Amino acid sequence: MRSGKRGNGEGSVYQRSDGKWCGALVVGGRRRVIYGRTRQDVAQKLARAMDSASRGLLREPSRLTVGAFLERWLEDTVRPRVRPLTYSGYAVNVRRHIVPALGHVRLDRLGPEQIQSFLNQKLNDGLSSKTVAYIRQVLRTALDQAMRWNLVSRNVATLVPAPRKVRKPIHPLEPHEIGKFLSAVEGRRLEALYVATLALGLRQGEVLGLKWEDVDLGAKTLRVQRQLQRFGGRLNLVEPKTDRARRVLDLPESVVKALTEHETRQIAERSTAGLQWEERGLVFTTTIGTPLEARSMLRDFRDVKKKGELPPIRFHDLRHSCATMLLVQRVPARVVMEILGHSDISLTMNTYSHVIPGLRTDAAGRMEDLLASARTTRQLRQPEVDRDLER
C-alpha cells in the first residue's frame, strides 16, 4: 500500500483556487513548486525537473541575479581565455546593455520572452541589427557557461531568434573619383597611408599597426600581422583575429614609391624631434614617433575628402574600393578574398554582391566568344574532313 507522503524525486500537478497551475516536486527532502499557465506547460516543466533530479542535476533555487552571474563570468571565464580587445567588447555589451535591462532578474527565472522584449527594445532604440545580434550572442555564450556550471537547466537565449541582418550599402569610390582622391592626398604627410590602404584593401587597424619590419621594399612585399587598437584607455598592438587576416601582400609600384618617400620623410622627422622621438618601429606615427591615433588620421581624412570634393565616404570605404576595383578587373574572387584577409569566400561574395551581376554578364560574354570561336574553327575544318571522306 502506497504511503501518502511523496517520495524523493516524485511530482504532481494541481490547480490552485485562483486558477493557476502548479507542479510540486520533492528533492532532497525539500518540496519545490513549479508554476505555469496551463496544465500541459506545468507537466512539461515538471517532467524536465524530475529528469534532472534523477540525474542529480537539479540544484536548490539560487538567488543569483543575471548581473552578478555575468560579472563572475566575465572575470572567471572570459578574461583568462580571450584577447583583451575581445574581453573589452564583451564587457561593454554586458555592462552597457544587458545588465541595465536584465541584471536584476534572477538567473534561474530569466525567460525567452524577457530576452525577446529586451532585444526588440534595443532595435527600437536605434541600435543596428548587427549590434543587437552581437549582444544576443554575448548573452547566449554566457548562458552556455551557466548551464555548464549547473546554474540553469537550459539556455533560454537559444530560444530567441537573432535579429534579421540588414546589410548596410557600401560606397566604394567610382573610377573618376579615385583619380581625384589620389590628387588630394599627393604630397600630404600621410599620403603613403592612403595609397597603401586603397591599393591593398587594408583595415584601419592594420595600416596603423604596420611596422617597418613588416615591409620589404626591395622584394615589394608587405606582411599584415598585427593591428593597432585602443582599449583599456591606451593604444595596443594586437594579433589579427584569424589566420586568414595574417597575410603577405605584393606591393604595386605606386605603393613602393609612396612608402619609400614616406620613409625618407620619417627619417627627417626623427632628426628634427631629437630626444623627443619615441622609437616604436611603426610605419605611420606622430611627428615624435608615437602610435598614430585613429581620430587624428580620420581628421586628416576629412580634409582629404573636402580638398578632393569627394562624396561622404568612410575610411573603410577605401578597403571596399580596393575590392571593387579588383573584381571589376576580373581578379578571381578567391584572390580578392586572400588580399582582403576575409575568413571565408562567401563573405567576399556577399559583401561585394553589387559587382557580381556585371561579372556574370562579362562571364557570359566570354563564354559566348569561346563557343563562337569553337564553332568557327569547326566550320573551317569541316570541308577538310569532307575531302578526306571523298578520298
Tens digits of residue pLDDT in 212-242:
999 999 999 999 999 998 877 888 888 887 8
- Per-residue pLDDT averaged across 338-345, rounded? 91
20 vs 105, which has greater pLDDT?
A: 105
Has residue 309 got a pLDDT over 90?
yes
Evaluate if residue 280 carries a pLDDT over 60. Answer: yes
CATH number of 66-159: 1.10.150.130
| Average pLDDT of the segment spanning 330-355 | 86
- Is 90 exceeded by the pLDDT of residue 378? no
pLDDT of res. 49 = 80
- Across the range 30-58, mean pLDDT stands at 79
- Greater confidence (63 vs 253) lies with 253
pLDDT confidence tier of residue 7, bands split at 50, 70 and 90: very low
Backbone angles phi, psi at 302, to 5 degrees: -60, -40
Cell of 360: 556574370
Mean pLDDT of the chain: 87
pLDDT band at 153 (very low <50, low <70, confident <90, very high): confident
The DSSP bridge pattern shows strands 247-250 and 30-36 to be unpaired
CB 13 within 8 A of CB 21: yes
Q: What's the residue count for the chain?
A: 391
Angstrom distance (rounded) from CA 112 to CA 63: 19
For the cut 70, the answer to whether the pLDDT of residue 383 exceeds it is no
- How far is CA 184 from each of CA 191, 198, 204, 296, 320, rounded to the nearest angstrom? 9, 13, 19, 17, 19
CA 229, CA 3: separation in Å to the nearest integer?
68
Q: 202 near 320, Cβ under 8 Å?
A: no
Asked if the model's pLDDT at residue 174 lies above 70, the reply is yes
Residue 28: what pLDDT?
63
Model confidence band, residue 8 (pLDDT cutoffs 50, 70, 90): very low
Domains of the chain by residue range: 11-54, 66-159, 175-351, 355-391
Mean pLDDT across 256-263:
97
177 or 381: whose pLDDT is higher?
A: 177
Which stretches within the chain are classed as H helix? 39-54, 66-73, 79-81, 84-93, 99-102, 112-124, 129-148, 175-185, 191-200, 204-208, 253-273, 294-308, 317-328, 333-340, 345-351, 356-390
Distance CA(69)–CA(22), nearest Å, equals 28
Indicate if the pLDDT at residue 364 is higher than 50. yes
- Annotation: CATH topology of 175-351: hpI Integrase; Chain A (1.10.443)
Handedness of CA 112, 117, 120, 125 (dihedral sign): negative
> Is 90 exceeded by the pLDDT of residue 382?
no
Tell me if 259 sits within 8 A of 237, measured CB to CB: no
For residues 315-327, give the mean pLDDT. 92
Handedness of CA 108, 112, 114, 119 (dihedral sign): positive
Range in 97-101, 228-232, 244-248, 290-294 with the lowest mean pLDDT: 228-232
Residue 246 has pLDDT above 60, yes or no: yes
CA 56 to chain centre: 39
Give the mean model confidence (pLDDT) for residues 174-196: 94
Q: Any idea which residue has 578632393 for its cell?
A: 308
Lowest mean pLDDT among 25-39, 98-112, 165-179: 25-39
Indicate the pLDDT class of residue 1, thresholds 50, 70 and 90. very low
**Cα separations (Å) of 106 from 20, 62, 99, 173, 240?**
21, 8, 12, 51, 38
| pLDDT band, residue 4 (cuts 50/70/90) | very low
Residue 210: pLDDT over 50: yes
pLDDT value at residue 304: 97
pTM: 0.69
Secondary structure (3-state) at 209:
coil
Enumerate residues 6+ apart whose C-beta is below 8 A from 390. none
Cβ contact 222:258 at 8 Å: no
Residue from 18, 142, 172 nearest 71 by CA:
142
